[in-house]
Structure 1
Amino acid sequence: MAFEDFKVRRYDGDLDRARVELLERRCEVGPSQHVFLFSDTMGDPISRIRNSPLYIMLVAELDHELIGAIQGSIKVVTMKDLAKVGYILGLRVSPLHRRKGIGSSLVKHLEEWFIGNQVDYAYMATEKENNASVSLFVNKLHYVKFRTPAILVHPVRSQPLKISSKIEIFKINEEKAEYLYRRYMSLTEFFPVDIDKVLSNKLSLGTWVACDQGGRDQFGQNGHFPTNWAMLSVWDSGGLFKLRIGKAPASCLMYSKVSKLIDKVFACFSMPSLLCNMFEPFGFYFLYGVHHEGPLSGNMVRALCNYVHNMARVAVDCKMVVTEVGSYDERVRPHIPHWRLLSCLEDLWCIKALKSEERESFNELTRIPQTRPLFVDPREV
């Protein structure tokens, strides 16, 4: 059989579930230097897109062997104006069949599905140093480098983190959270029009606000807010899939062994529990919709992050707290606790216009440096 006879078709759960999971194991991916791999979708290979408004998974098959897969989702977001965007993720090609055009074919078939659904722009995310992915999308498929957000990862420690007694933290209901997001973040890049669906999803654990002590009762009364305040929402990504650490440097492996010994001998030490179970699958919380107002609100962002960390401590298998912020959000980034060894300070988003009438505005969009915060949808983590 000629290699060109491979075919691309829609994913069939009954037929492909086990084969896609096998493909994932063969194509373990993660940041090139150290970080983590998606290792366990808990029997649901499309778990990462299932909560999107519209989604699809395609597979490539050759002589009854599954040799590639790709996923895509569609939603309406804020760009320069409102736009329908298609997100590309989960591109996998079996190591034995790479450099044969399978990846390009999968992307092109997915783009055709986007176009059939009137998508304005397609975009994808990859690590900046993933040369193979960057070469495929930028050099061969004509995507343009667009944004370089930072993925900030904080391991959950055995001891709670301190929160200033001068800061009050409280949970707000979905209706008030939606109001605040639409009021303060509706012009944020990639802000989803269906933010109400995100907030009401069973994986969204809630939205919390931080302000000065005594400010809770007056918060939002008659449309008035404190000078300094912050908010964020929490998504339980562990409810979809698990992670495990891979490609860890020798120093990290050594630290894992040492930390296990210390935990046994000095149980009172506050060590990152994640490192004691480095290669076991674990869940994580994703912080989204991080927003702050006022010159002193950075302290409130940190207090909220610490609060979520303390929530994660009592979760069954949550070992990380993760958030992603755009390069424009330099004011807030220093206030988000993270461990540099596990974080990716320059992720890469690439974008492509799929409609000819969007090309002019697209060129303007990609030429202008990021001047607004970036909203990272937890459904696409």
Structure 2
Amino acid sequence: MVMKEEEKEKEMIRVREFDMERDLAAVEELERRCEVGPTTAAAAAAADDDDDNQNKNKKKKKKNKNKRAISLYVDQLGDPLSRVRHAPEYVMLVAEYGEKKEMVGVIRACIKMVSSGRPSTSPLMAYVKVAYILGLRVSPSHRCLGIATMLVEDAERWCSAAGAAYAYMATTASNSASLSLFTRRLSYAPFRRPVLLGHPVHAHLLPLRIPHHSILRLPPPLAAALYSHLLPSSAVELLPSDLPSLLSHKYTVGTYLTLSTSSSPPSFAILSVWDSTHILSFRVAGSSAATRAAVSLLRAADTFAPWLHLPSIPNVFLPFGAYVLYGLHMSGPDGPHLLRSLCRFAHNLAVRNPSCGVVVAEVAPADPVRAAIPHWRRFSCDEDVWCIKPLRSNPIGDDDVDGWLASPPSTSNKVMFVDPRDF
């Protein structure tokens, strides 16, 4: 009897591709009711397939019902496809429920060719087509129906038909519900643990500690040629094959290089800046009135007395966007100092954009650039978990898949290229 009821419920769910004209209002309303962060909508959506997680979540909510929770909300700025439409290939699926075809779930996926990090002597392909699964949302009133599973499986089928050999997704180590859905039910395996480093945008400019004129803005063709030399596909994972297009994209603010010949060998640092404020914005909710007042007062003091160089933060309780640093690389004894100054330069670019509240970068844990990136602990996260799954058996003629599936996330010493379009 229970099985028949479950089958009946599934028959009432229909997954199809998103239609902007038809679905925009319903999807925006669904997104408004979903939060991200420590207790994410994706986590709750994942938990709809796990009774144990549901029971744990209910107990936790009951235990903490008197505690004020801080949540992070995302606004797609009127374009539900904003996070994927800049990829070479993409799709967005929606789930409808019942005869009234109520909008109850969404998921997005983008596809691109990326480097596998194999040695140049390997006979296997240097690039492989992968899909990135993101933006999973399920209506709070329609969980425990298997909607999340159906959305992910349909997204995987679409990506596989488009030629993707693998699919990967990102979550956090504390998000047990999401990890349970993807690793236990959907056969994903953890493969990388990048570190997200964030720095709030102050009202004042940060000192560069290098001459401003020594920072060069590279034309996209020159930047692409330099990156191809500095970041060969044999040494870097997930480097997109369309990097030249990314560097010349309208949302790439620029690629910046600084050099120092005072050391031997000469030192340099390079990075590119992506403006995601046109794509999505964030908003923090649930904090106390005292916290809000303190943030406002500190910001006001920094605005009217910039010579004090107070470490003010933006009003994160109103919508704010982000600048994403990518392609970070340094070399030579002065490399860390130069890269730190370049990151400060990027911060100062963000100060001029009133929509930008934070500058972020995501790198591999063992990447040397990690130590040179200015960041605040409260704006950073070291518990990201990326999980991957082959979409067909022996997808590229290599059972080991250069360690993506064979090695634990902590064992990789490869440099990761984190595409800002995935942010």
Q: Could you state the TM-score of these two structures normalised by the residue count of structure 1?
A: 0.90
How big is each residue's C-alpha offset from its partner over 1:317-374, in whole Å with a ceiling of 9 and x where there is no partner? 2111111011121x22121111111211121100001121236123843333212111
Distance 1:14 1:371, change over 3 A: same
Q: Which moved more, 1:33-42 or 1:84-93?
A: 33-42
Q: CA deviation at 1:274?
A: 3.8
- After superposition, the C-alpha distances for 1:301-320 in whole angstroms (9 at most, x for unaligned) are 10000001111111132111
1:334 aligns with 2:368: no
* CA contact 1:156–1:272 (8 Å) conserved in 2: no
Task: Within 5 Å, give how 1:39-58 maps onto structure 2.
Answer: 39-58=74-93
1:237–1:272 CA distance, 2 compared to 1 (3 A): farther
Pairing of 1:73-222 with structure 2 (within 5 A): 73-79=110-116, 80=118, 81-165=126-210, 168-187=214-233, 188-212=236-260
Report the Cα distance in structure 1 between the residues aligned to 2:285 and 2:170, rounded to whole angstroms. 20
Q: Cα deviations across residues 18-37 of structure 1 (Å, max 9, x unaligned)?
A: 11111111111123598873
Q: Identity over aligned residues, as a percent?
A: 40
Deviates further, 94-103 or 164-173: 164-173
Question: What is the SS of the residue equivalent to 2:36?
Answer: coil
Which residue is 2:320 aligned to?
282
Look up the match of 1:242. 281
1:99 CA drift (Å): 2.3
Please tell me whether the aligned partners of residues 166 and 212 of structure 1 are also in contact (alpha carbons under 8 angstroms): no
Structure 2 gaps of 5+ residues are: 41-68, 119-125
SS in 1 for 2:381: coil
1:298 aligns with 2:336: yes
Instruction: Give the Cα separation in 2 of the matches to 1:235 and 1:364.
Output: 30
Name the aligned partner's letter for residue 280 of structure 2: F
* Equivalent position of 1:312 in the other structure: 350
User: Conserved in 2, the CA contact under 8 Å of 1:58 and 1:69?
Assistant: yes
| Counterpart-to-counterpart distance in 2, 1:259 and 1:245 | 12
2:49 alignment partner in structure 1: none
The RMSD of aligned alpha carbons is 2.3
**What is the TM-score normalised by the length of structure 2?**
0.81
**Amino acid in structure 1 at the alignment position of 2:16:** R
**1:229 matched residue in structure 2:** 268
Contact 1:120 1:354 in 2 (8 A): yes
Deviations 1:90-122 (A, max 9, x none): 000111212221101100001111111121110
Counterpart residue type for residue 19 of structure 2 = D
Write the letter of the residue equivalent to 1:169: I
* Number of the residue aligned with 1:258: 294
Q: Please tell me whether residue 370 in structure 1 is matched to residue 370 in structure 2.
A: no
Unpaired runs of 5+ residues, structure 1, are: 216-224
**Where do 4+ consecutive residues of structure 1 move more than 4 Å?**
32-36, 262-266
SS in 2 for 1:170: strand
Residue in 2 aligned with 1:222? Answer: none
